[in-house]
Amino acid sequence: MRRYLDYYLTSMRMAILEQFQYRVANYFYMIGMVAEPVIYLVVWSTVAEAQGGEVGGYTPAAFAAYYIVWTLVRNMNIVFTPYGWEGYIQRGQLSAELLKPIHPIHNFLSFFAGWKVVVILFWLPLAAILSLIFKPALDFTWVEVVVFFFAIWGAYLIRTMLLTLLGMITFWTTRVSAIYELFFAFELVLSGRLVPMSLMPVWVQEIADWLPFQWTFGYPIESLVAQLPPAELWGGLGMQALWIGITTVMVAVMWRFGIRRFSAVGN
């Protein structure tokens, strides 16, 4: 256990050092990423104003709060992608990982977790500027802040596991990108990334209830901005824990089959 902790801390430290080297690139990336929520925000604010000041309980200021927190949650959602997996296997880097006395997922988890530390630091001034422009209605309690803190890391874990599952398809086909695009389309609609889930048709919300996507996007945002009742606030963390468990088991099972396949073909 101590070795794992040491490994995580050292790997995170390395990720921080690496990402600081690319601070300008990181910042440009984050600025570019802001374009997406700003478009959503402008569109929905316009709709809200046209409908007498709100849509489904969201005022322009509430949308601003949602989409500004969105930018942080989106960054927390950046994990090792299936594209990364493709390259990793094609370049033989997975072989190098397999020679280490630790499961490769610890490398992905720790490295990207370190990156998040940099992301959060860089995000703060960006969020301040967005807040000055769009004047969000943010009214949260400290309990919500604590839940939000755990929820963004929960989202990170779930999405890591989901994309690891997708990435591992690379063990069977070298063209996983097409499947990722399909996944991405579902995620966009069913996670709260495009629009708060409460604005979606009821049948979409019912489908989303059976899927993990909203726990990686909509829930962490709403835990801070939507004044959720305590049952929903804490229950969300429970749902995240459940999905972390389910996806971790799925990763473990798929890894067993995938690695057998990889070890038969190799690279």
Partner 1 sequence: MATPVIAVNGLSKHFKVPEREAGLKASTRALFKRSHRLVKAVDAISFSIEPGEVVGFLGPNGAGKTTTLKMLSGLLHPTGGQVAVLGYEPKKRDHDYLKQITLVMGNRNQLSWDLPALDSFELYRALYGIERSRFEKLRDDFIELLEVGDLVRKPVRNLSLGERMKVEIIGALLHTPGVLFLDEPTIGLDVTMQRRIRRFIAEYNRRYGATVLLTSHYMADVEALCKRVIVIHHGKILYDGALAGLVEQFSAFKKVSVTLSGPDVDVSGFGEVLERDGSRVTLRIPKAETSRATARLLSELDADDLTVEDPPVEDVIEQVFATEAA
Distances (CA, A) of 239 to 128, 161, 188, 202: 31, 15, 19, 20
Q: Which is nearer to partner 1, 35 or 99 (CB)?
A: 99
96 binds partner 1 (CB under 8 A): yes
- Distance CA(45)–CA(61), nearest Å, equals 8
User: Does residue 92 bind partner 1 (CB under 8 A)?
Assistant: yes
Q: Is 23 in the site for partner 1 (CB under 8 A)?
A: no
If binding is defined by CB under 8 A, does position 51 make contact with partner 1?
no
Torsion (CA) 117, 255, 176, 193 in degrees, nearest 10: -40
264 binds partner 1 (CB under 8 A): yes
Instruction: Mark the segment that binds partner 1 (CB under 8 A) among 27-35, 90-98, 165-173, 203-211.
Output: 90-98
Minimum distance from residue 167 beta carbon to partner 1 (Å): 19
Whether the Cβ atoms of residue 108 and residue 13 lie closer than 8 Å to each other: no
Cα(236)–Cα(232) distance, integer angstroms: 6
Cα-based distances in Å from 65 to 26, 130, 135, 209: 23, 10, 8, 23
Which position among 95, 141, 174, 227 is part of the footprint of partner 1 (CB under 8 A)? 95
Shortest Å distance, C-beta 252 to partner 1: 15
Question: Shortest Cβ distance from residue 113 to partner 1 (Å)?
Answer: 14
Q: Please compute, for residue 91, the number of CA atoms within 13 A of its CA located in the half-sphere on the CB side.
A: 8
Q: Is 1 near partner 1 (CB under 8 A)?
A: no
Say how many residues touch partner 1, by CB under 8 A: 26
Q: Phi and psi for 55 in degrees, rounded to 5?
A: -130, 120
Q: What does the binding site for partner 1 look like in residue numbers (CB under 8 A)?
A: 2-3, 6-7, 9-11, 13-14, 17-18, 21-22, 92, 95-96, 98-102, 260, 263-266
